[in-house]
Amino acid sequence: MGSIAYQIGNALYLNITNRCTNRCSFCIRYKTKLFNNKHELWLDREPASNEIIKAIREPKKFKEIVFCGYGEPLTRLDVVKEVSAWIKKNGGRVRIDTNGSGNLFNKRNIIPELKGLVDSISISLNAQNRKLFQKICHSEFGEPAFDGIIEFAKEAKKYIPAVEMTAVNIPEIDVEETKKIADDIGVSFRLRTYYEQDYIK
């Protein structure tokens, strides 16, 4: 079993699945089994909610608890909701890092179900248009995934207090055009540094 929970700084990250609806060309999961040369994030099986809760222990110890590992957390929506409810009940803050495909994967608008459970959400956009998105991210939903991410962000803004969209700083992406999408939706934007050399031994 890989690491279910791993700490970086004063945040605790939860790794709950290997499954992902994208196969991003830049993703570190295809380049090494060790995140930050330290955390073994490939899972032999998906942990149950009680195992995740046990790994967290004391939510209030951390600035925030983040669903973010080697897979897309919203492929396990029920687990995310159950664990988030426990975290909130025990005084913690919840963030989800997602590729924005949660509605497509679950075949419904799941955002209202996260109201009151999630304090912030970070949505990976990673391109300024559909074709480039699919070229870089290889979504199982094809080019329509790009539109799905935008709709997901619009819905998230209605129900979740803090919403940001992000992009990895790689040459193919027009950062200003990508940022404009977030600006038009009315959510914040963050450019993520791509530092593969820091991961690979």
Give the model's confidence band at 34: pLDDT under 50 very low, under 70 low, under 90 confident, else very high: low
Four-residue CA torsion sign, 97, 103, 107, 112: positive
- Residue 101's contacts (CB-CB under 8 Å, 6 or more residues apart) are 21, 22, 72, 74, 139, 141, 145, 148, 149, 152
In the predicted model, is pLDDT for residue 198 greater than 50?
A: no
Domain borders along the chain are: 5-198
Q: What DSSP designation does 76 have?
A: G
Number of residues assigned to the chain: 201
Average pLDDT taken over every residue of the chain = 91
5-198: in CATH 3.20.20.70: yes
pLDDT of residue 133: 98
**pLDDT tens, position by position, 132-183:** 999 999 999 999 999 999 999 999 999 999 999 999 999 999 999 999 999 9
Residue 103 to residue 135: CA distance in whole angstroms: 21
| Nearest by Cα to 64 from 121, 4, 3 | 121
**pLDDT tens, position by position, 46-67:** 999 999 999 999 999 999 999 9
| Whole-prediction pTM | 0.91
Helix H or strand E encompassing 181: helix 175-185
Residue 68 to residue 49: CA distance in whole angstroms: 15
Residue with tokens 């999630």: 118
DSSP for 7-53 reads: EETTEEEE---S--S---TT-GGGT-SEETTTEE---SSPPPHHHHH
CB atoms inside a 10 Å sphere around CB 117: 19
Considering 1-15, 25-39, 106-120, 183-197, the range whose residues carry the highest mean pLDDT is 106-120
SS3 state at 66:
strand
Helix H or strand E encompassing 159: helix 144-159
